[in-house]
Chains A and B, each alone.
Chain A
Amino acid sequence: MPQSEHRPILLTDARIVDPSRDLEFVGDLLVADGMIKDCAPGIRAAGIPDGAERVDCQGRVVAPGLIDMRAFIGEPGAEYRETLASASQAAAAGGVTTVICQPDTNPVIDDPAIVDFIMRRARDTAIVHVHPMAALTKGLQGKEMTEFGLLRAAGAVAFTDGARSIANAQVMRRVLTYARDFDALVVHHTEDQDLVGEGVMNEGEYAARLGLSGIPGAAETIMLERDLRLVELARGRYHAASITTADSLAVLRRAKEAGLPVSASASVNHLTLNEIDVGPYRTFFKVAPPLRAESDRVALVDALAEGLIDVVMSDHNPQDVETKRLPFAEAAAGAIGLESMLAAGLRLVHDERLSLMTLLRAMTSRPAALLGLPGGTLRPGAPADVIVIDPDLPWIVDPAELKSKCKNTPFDEARLLGRVVRTIVAGRTVYEYV
């Protein structure tokens, strides 16, 4: 991260939305020295430093920068797909000021030296904050746990095996038990790989018609249910990485009601798309877990509205032509999302399924609290990670305009309403939409 030796910024006539304090009002926000100095209905002239850049927001929304809890980036090992630099450009354009990268790199982030490498590379090349999650098990093999203490000290904000699930319940129990001693958050992808088998899309009528092998919702629910039983034994902090079915929500609800230290994410893809979008074998809609039925999607949105789902993440996963321009069953799973997560999520707000406050909370203060990050708030004294959103600005997702190295977006050519028009990271404007 570049240092923040630059002009103060005064955002005026802004619709301030701060989910960390449940505050919404029209006012001003002042940023200086990389910090939020003031955020109030009106900042008096005396409090404004000389030479401050004034930005008239004309009633647009000012919110904390987004924290994307799940992004797969190719560095190190697959820089042709995405680097920390290109991912950070994409993030800035999407209003994401903190990217949490996943450990399934090559080499795997399972060693403090690699955490250190990521932090240094990000500092030198990225224009937003990047924090890695470290692997839960060595080499993501699901067998031996990693050095939670040392990895955490090096800067890992949580632990996960990325898109892999730990099949062995004993390993999972030990991981959850040991993680508790370091107050480490265990983030787990809940898919029983044996039940997934050769499946490539949601099991049901549409898979049957397309002649594709189906993945039952139970593959997810069984793994989640097992994990939550283990949390009951071990009491470590647990986060379900990507919930996609109504059945899983029922399981999650029981665990939360029982007071277990559990939380969950949903990807913006599963909140806004369903299995029918796969249409004629469109591989950009192949994600893991798969897009589910419309009834699951609606249940997921309702769960987000009531707070059962804590976090909305992009599940950003760049795949290039070589891995996507293939028959559906052979294509890689994954969709990019850093640049579109907010705009896609705004669909739910425009459809009046969700308040803007709720959507933003799931992208800012909730992930900040789970990961112990200082951002995700507009409270004075907090890091100046701030975005300006025009919630009614229409735009079309043009792959050529996307900053990500890969263009595998399910929102290809989609007409979206609302987007980030300015992104400020540590007090410096890193992106402006013109």
Chain B
Amino acid sequence: MNTPSPSPFVLGRRHLLGIDGLSPGEIVALLDLAEEFVALNRQVEKKRTSLRGRTQINLFFEASTRTQSSFELAGKRLGADVMNMSVSTSSLKKGETLIDTAITLNAMRPDILIVRHQSSGAVELLSQKVDCSVVNAGDGAHEHPTQALLDALTIRRNKGRIDGLVVTICGDILHSRVARSNIILLNAMGARVRVVAPSTLLPAGIERMGVEVARDMRDGLEGADIVMMLRLQRERMNGSFVPSVQEYFHYYGLDQKKLAYAKPDALVMHPGPMNRGVEIDSGVADGAQSLIREQVEMGVAVRMAVLEALARNLPNA
């Protein structure tokens, strides 16, 4: 097997704030670059030096274990100095914290900021106040671009393509940045996207984002190649958006029976963390059709690709 030559891809922009605005070519190039890091991450020697001397700050206004550690590992494997900052929103007044923190951190001369915030648009606002690169690690219900990229990489590795696949996204679309980023990316790559959710968890106008809306799992999953489940937060299950966990699982929880509506070789994904028995049955989550663990592995590779492609665009002087 001949090894392909390393990708020289440079992301020609300072920030990665969303999938919206990325061209299909840029998405493919990021996925190709990520493939190199998948191979690298499976070796004993996982270190690169392309970010040596660079400072990466993970600024998380909203708690996250997996995304933060994934970005941390990605930065460290590329040789960056990585610092984690968790900003508790309860102890500080929200708005002041965001701008003030941005200005303060900027003065420390980081090269890359990884930012998660509970408000849509907050990462973009912060990016306007700093001189370094900013990567959106999730802003409110807006975007989570690296999640969509890692999902795309996982799909492409298992199905060999994205174009023409039927991808069904199930669950709390209303509050989900993962859903929005995936809808944009999958549409850009030529997939057919469906969403299934109780109507209280669908935003008005969602059909104008290029998705088919299905009201029940049988319609939504029929002929699906990929079933992407979303997390339903506990505070939304007690009558505010859905009446109860029992009813939600009964109608929208993914179990073997509902999965059988999809294609026989359909694959199951979940961005995590999972609520077993709420949106997904343990048997399915751990079953042969599940890609959930592979998604986590792809997450590190994709984030390395994003950091690498952005760093290549950073000034060297």
- List the interface of chain A (C-beta within 8 A of B): 203-214, 216, 280-281, 322-323, 325-331
* Complex-state Cα separation, A211 to B139, whole angstroms: 9
> Are B124 and A281 in contact, with the CB atoms below 8 A?
yes
> Are A329 and B203 in contact, with the CB atoms below 8 A?
no
Is the CB of B95 closer than 8 A to any CB of chain A?
yes
**4 pairs of A and B residues whose beta carbons are closest in the complex:** A281-B121, A211-B142, A327-B119, A205-B205
* Complex-state Cα separation, A206 to B206, whole angstroms: 9
Residues 160-188 (chain B) with a chain A CB within 8 angstroms: 177, 180
What's the least CB distance linking B3 to chain A, in Å? 41
> Are B95 and A280 in contact, with the CB atoms below 8 A?
no
Residues of B close to A214: CB separation below 8 A: 203-204
> Are A327 and B98 in contact, with the CB atoms below 8 A?
yes
> Are B117 and A327 in contact, with the CB atoms below 8 A?
yes
Residues of A close to B122: CB separation below 8 A: 327
Residues of A close to B120: CB separation below 8 A: 210-212, 281, 327-329
> Are B94 and A330 in contact, with the CB atoms below 8 A?
yes
What is the chain B residue whose CB lies nearest that of A212?
B120
Given the contacts A203-B204, A281-B120, A329-B120, A211 and B209 also touching, CB distance less than 8 Å: no
Residues of B close to A206: CB separation below 8 A: 205
- With beta carbons under 8 angstroms apart, the residue of A210, A216, A322, A323 that contacts B142 is A210
What's the least CB distance linking A82 to chain B, in Å? 20
The 27 listed contacts between A and B (C-beta, < 8 Å) are A205-B204, A207-B203, A207-B205, A210-B120, A210-B142, A211-B121, A211-B139, A211-B140, A211-B177, A212-B140, A214-B203, A280-B124, A281-B121, A322-B95, A323-B95, A326-B95, A326-B98, A326-B99, A327-B117, A327-B119, A327-B120, A327-B125, A328-B119, A328-B121, A329-B120, A329-B140, A331-B95
- With beta carbons under 8 angstroms apart, the residue of B96, B125, B143, B204 that contacts A207 is B204
> Are B203 and A330 in contact, with the CB atoms below 8 A?
no
Residues 230-258 (chain B) with a chain A CB within 8 angstroms: none
* Complex-state Cα separation, A323 to B180, whole angstroms: 28
* Complex-state Cα separation, A205 to B180, whole angstroms: 12
- List the interface of chain B (C-beta within 8 A of A): 20, 94-96, 98-99, 117, 119-122, 124-125, 139-143, 177, 180, 203-206, 208-209
* Complex-state Cα separation, A208 to B120, whole angstroms: 11
What is the chain A residue whose CB lies nearest that of B96?
A322
* Complex-state Cα separation, A209 to B209, whole angstroms: 7
Residues of A close to B208: CB separation below 8 A: 205, 208
What is the chain A residue whose CB lies nearest that of B125?
A327
> Assuming A206-B205, A209-B180, A211-B140, what are 13 further A-B pairs, CB within 8 angstroms?
A204-B204, A207-B203, A212-B121, A212-B141, A212-B142, A325-B125, A326-B94, A326-B98, A326-B99, A327-B95, A327-B117, A329-B140, A330-B94
What's the least CB distance linking B20 to chain A, in Å? 8
> Are B119 and A325 in contact, with the CB atoms below 8 A?
no
Residues of B close to A213: CB separation below 8 A: 141
Residues of A close to B203: CB separation below 8 A: 207-208, 214
* Complex-state Cα separation, A3 to B98, whole angstroms: 49
- With beta carbons under 8 angstroms apart, the residue of A205, A326, A327 that contacts B140 is A327
Residues of B close to A205: CB separation below 8 A: 204-205, 208-209
Given the contacts A322-B95, A327-B140, A210 and B121 also touching, CB distance less than 8 Å: yes
* Complex-state Cα separation, A325 to B209, whole angstroms: 29
- With beta carbons under 8 angstroms apart, the residue of A203, A322, A327 that contacts B121 is A327
Residues of B close to A209: CB separation below 8 A: 20, 180, 209
Residues of A close to B98: CB separation below 8 A: 326-327
What's the least CB distance linking A22 to chain B, in Å? 43
Given the contacts A208-B209, A212-B141, A325 and B204 also touching, CB distance less than 8 Å: no
What's the least CB distance linking B126 to chain A, in Å? 9
- With beta carbons under 8 angstroms apart, the residue of A203, A204, A207, A325 that contacts B99 is A325
Residues of A close to B142: CB separation below 8 A: 210-212
* Complex-state Cα separation, A98 to B20, whole angstroms: 47
* Complex-state Cα separation, A203 to B204, whole angstroms: 6
Residues of A close to B124: CB separation below 8 A: 280-281
What is the chain A residue whose CB lies nearest that of B184?
A209
What is the chain B residue whose CB lies nearest that of A206?
B205
* Complex-state Cα separation, A323 to B93, whole angstroms: 12
What's the least CB distance linking A6 to chain B, in Å? 47
* Complex-state Cα separation, A216 to B99, whole angstroms: 31
Residues of B close to A325: CB separation below 8 A: 95, 99, 125
- With beta carbons under 8 angstroms apart, the residue of A204, A208, A329 that contacts B119 is A329
What's the least CB distance linking A242 to chain B, in Å? 22
* Complex-state Cα separation, A213 to B205, whole angstroms: 12
* Complex-state Cα separation, A280 to B139, whole angstroms: 13
Kindly name the residue among A204, A207, A326, A331 whose own CB sees the greatest number of chain B CB atoms within 10 A. A326
